[in-house]
């Protein structure tokens, strides 16, 4: 099954793609890609089931290309699609990490202006006085830029976006929060002002590699200074672990390129003057499919992706209490068996019957030893129990290894949509991550 695309429908002609995305849809069709339509207005209104009514059952793995969504709306979309056998290649947790500033900030800390974050609900009073001064005190003396987790009000630059000093910051923050009103997303962000020269450049990344650099949608589309794609930016994108993202870069007055924003690529606007076939080609030939299998509910994570629940991570914790429940040997082994079933399901849909040992630690597993799948699953069990480590692979078709904190990482040349659905029914969670082999 090839990857599919979900485009927003034209709100007036609901059987057609929204005109804004029509060039991209044509590029996908020209390349033999599959596409379906969703009702963006229904989704924003909280009617996710209605929004995906035109998506065929069993549509499989998809990219979304459409208008921006709040993180909760995207999560509702993911849930509604999963019920139809359709899986977003960027899960709800990944979308939030790429879309909201606190989710990506830690990966780009050295590459972006200094930042302070204050979680806030719409209608909540903005920080002021000494509290505000403490928040902004470590951000330097060049001024401040105010925004929320997703948006700024840069078109009201002096009233609700830029403060040249601490004396004016309180007024700008109060005005920004007032104007955002119910549209305030996540909370308040205060960033150090840095002086930039020239237009911003948007770089598009698929599976950790830059596939296009072009103009920012708010800038001129005829003049683009191509940035040097330094290894630090690539490394930060790869550490973020989201398959399809954008980074907005600008050249600082001292000549250094800086990351101004990071975004989920699915809701980033493609430049009208660029060939949409470039993006379609990159997304249709994304290098394999990466899966992170775990027992941890992605909904129980903070903006940085840290799991907030009380749960065990190793067999050595049998007998301890987690969430008010004793981890028994039987309970542990039931979860462990589910992990092994997950590997078997993904391997089966990938057409894999044998796996080869690569990069083993210690002498117990020799490099290059070829194992039947049943034997390989016992090696996975040993990795989960932290008794050994290696990578198991079938050439460029399939890789698997157990990582830290009881996470299991799998990469396949196939999308494995049916296997993913069956893994969810085992009580496990499957999240997409960049493929690291096929």
Q: Which of 86, 84, 103, 106 is nearest to 95 (CA)?
A: 103
Strands 4-8 and 34-38, how do they pair?
A: parallel
Helical (H) or strand (E) element with 210: strand 209-215
pLDDT number for residue 308: 79
Give the separation between CA 251 and CA 272, rounded to whole angstroms. Answer: 23
Q: Would you give per-residue pLDDT tens digits along the chain (438 residues)?
A: 468 999 999 999 989 999 999 999 999 999 989 999 999 999 999 999 999 999 999 888 899 999 999 999 999 999 999 888 888 888 888 899 999 999 999 999 999 999 999 999 998 988 889 899 988 888 878 899 999 999 999 999 999 999 999 989 999 999 999 999 999 999 999 999 999 988 889 999 998 889 999 888 877 766 566 677 777 888 899 888 788 999 999 999 998 999 999 999 999 999 988 999 999 999 987 667 889 999 998 878 766 566 778 899 999 999 999 989 999 999 999 999 999 999 999 999 988 999 999 889 876 789 889 999 999 999 999 999 999 999 899 876 899 999 888 999 998 978 787 898 899 999 999 988 776 554
Count Cβ atoms below 10 Å from residue 408 Cβ, excluding itself. Answer: 23
CA pair distance 163, 154, nearest whole angstrom: 12
Tell me what pLDDT residue 224 has: 64
Scanning the structure block, which residue is given the tokens 């019957």?
Answer: 353
Using left for φ > 0, alpha for ψ between -120 and 50, and beta otherwise, residue 65 falls in: beta
pLDDT at 66: 96
Q: Which of 323, 340, 338 is nearest to 400 (CA)?
A: 340
Going by the DSSP 8-state scheme, the letter that residue 109 receives in this structure is G
Query: What pLDDT was estimated at residue 2?
Result: 67
Residue 244's pLDDT is 93
Q: What is the structure's pLDDT at 1?
A: 47
pLDDT score of 340: 98
């Amino acid at each position: 099954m090839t990857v599919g695309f979900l485009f927003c429908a034209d709100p007036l002609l609901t059987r057609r793609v929204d005109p804004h995305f029509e060039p991209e849809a044509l590029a996908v069709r020209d390349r033999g890609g599959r596409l379906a339509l969703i009702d963006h207005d229904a989704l924003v209104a909280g009617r996710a089931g209605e929004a995906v009514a035109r998506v065929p059952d069993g549509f499989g793995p998809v990219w979304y290309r459409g208008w921006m969504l709040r993180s909760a709306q995207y999560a509702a979309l993911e849930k509604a699609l999963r019920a139809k056998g359709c899986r977003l290649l960027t899960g709800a947790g990944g979308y939030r990490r790429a879309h909201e500033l606190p989710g990506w900030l830690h990966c780009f800390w050295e590459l972006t202006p200094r930042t302070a974050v204050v979680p806030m609900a719409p209608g909540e009073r903005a920080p002021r006085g000494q509290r505000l001064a403490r928040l902004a005190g470590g951000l330097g003396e060049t001024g401040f830029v105010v925004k929320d987790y997703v948006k700024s009000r840069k078109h009201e630059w002096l009233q609700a976006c830029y403060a040249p000093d601490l004396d004016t910051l309180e007024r700008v923050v109060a005005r920004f929060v007032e104007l955002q009103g119910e549209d305030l997303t996540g909370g308040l962000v205060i960033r150090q002002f840095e002086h930039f020269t020239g237009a911003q450049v948007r770089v598009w990344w698929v599976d950790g590699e830059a596939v296009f650099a072009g103009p920012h949608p708010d800038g001129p589309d005829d003049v683009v200074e191509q940035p040097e794609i330094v290894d630090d930016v690539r490394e930060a994108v790869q550490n973020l672990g989201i398959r399809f993202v954008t980074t907005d870069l600008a050249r600082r007055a001292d000549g250094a390129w800086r990351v101004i924003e990071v975004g989920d690529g699915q809701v980033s606007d493609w430049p009208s003057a660029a060939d949409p076939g470039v993006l379609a080609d990159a997304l249709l030939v994304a290098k394999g499919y990466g899966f992170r299998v775990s027992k941890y509910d992605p909904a129980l994570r903070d903006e940085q992706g840290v799991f907030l629940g009380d749960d065990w991570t190793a067999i050595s914790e049998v007998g301890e209490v987690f969430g008010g429940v004793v981890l028994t040997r039987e309970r542990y082994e039931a979860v462990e068996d589910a992990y092994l079933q997950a590997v078997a399901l993904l391997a089966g849909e990938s057409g894999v019957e044998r796996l080869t040992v690569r990069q083993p630690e210690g002498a117990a597993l020799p490099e290059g030893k070829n194992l039947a799948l049943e034997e390989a699953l016992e090696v996975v069990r040993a990795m989960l129990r932290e008794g050994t480590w290696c990578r198991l692979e079938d050439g460029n078709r399939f890789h698997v290894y157990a990582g830290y904190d009881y996470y299991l990482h799998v990469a396949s040349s196939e999308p494995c949509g049916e296997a993913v659905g069956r893994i969810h029914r085992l009580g496990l969670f499957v999240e997409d991550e960049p493929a690291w082999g096929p």
